[in-house]
Amino acid sequence: MKVTSAEFIKSAYTREHWINDGTPEIAFLGRSNVGKSSLINSLLGRKGLARTSNTPGRTQCINYFRINDQFYFVDLPGYGYAKVSKMMRADWGVMAEEYLSASPELRLCVQLIDSRHPPTKLDMQLYEWLVHNQKPFVVVATKSDKMSQNELSKALKVSRSAMPLATLLPHSSTTGRGRDEIWSVISESVR
């Protein structure tokens, strides 16, 4: 897809601020620091549009980006960051489930996992929730540049067998690997 416009719209901290204007949404979900914001920037070819950081757990709100005046990319907070309180960890599940259930125009969930590791317990919980609730989703294995081709193939095999019902695509925001494949899944979902 050719990105002709990509614009940050807003950060929503509470449910009243979620957008529900009939525009299709693509949501990005994964543990904190897995590379959600980097994937969004890579797909859009805009370096600093979604804020990336070395401090996990930075994004605590839902960020909306309007693409080609056609659909939204929705950057959700990351889960599984050990240093946030137990309370906030429980909140993540509630917020995410609420968002995923309350967004009628949600066309695709992009679940991110770290390509170097097998899916974590929380990754598996999200995957199972998506399958159980019949949400259209694709799994992206991030940071694929951090391994050799051989290591990557082995790691992808492990993740694919843990998530047999998922389409799993490797990506790297440094090399751009996987961008076209991910875009074709996204384009299909908003057609």
Ligand X SMILES: Nc1nc2c(ncn2[C@@H]2O[C@H](COP(=O)(O)OP(=O)(O)OP(=O)(O)O)[C@@H](O)[C@H]2O)c(=O)[nH]1
Residues in touch with ligand X (CB under 6 A): 30, 32-38, 52-54, 56-59, 78, 142-143, 145-146, 172-174
Please tell me whether residue 42 binds Mg ion under the rule CB under 5 A: no
Q: What is the DSSP string of 10-55?
A: EEE-SGGGS--SS--EEEEEEBTTSSHHHHHHHHHT-SSSS---SS
Cα(90)–Cα(79) distance, integer angstroms: 10
Instruction: Name residues whose C-beta falls within 8 Å of residue 89's C-beta, 6 or more positions apart in sequence.
Output: 79, 80, 81
Nearer to Mg ion by C-beta: 59 or 111?
59
Alpha-carbon distance values, 46 to 32, 52, 89, 165 (Å): 21, 12, 31, 31
Partner touching 103 among ligand X, Mg ion, none, CB below 5 to 8 Å by kind: none
| Tokens 């929705």, located at residue | 74
Nearer to ligand X by C-beta: 103 or 178?
178
Please tell me whether residue 103 binds Mg ion under the rule CB under 5 A: no
Nearer to Mg ion by C-beta: 31 or 152?
31
Nearer to ligand X by C-beta: 146 or 154?
146
Partner touching 32 among ligand X, Mg ion, none, CB below 5 to 8 Å by kind: ligand X
Minimum CB separation from Mg ion for residue 4, in Å? 24
Please tell me whether residue 41 binds Mg ion under the rule CB under 5 A: no
Residue ranges in contact with Mg ion by CB under 5 A: 36-37, 59
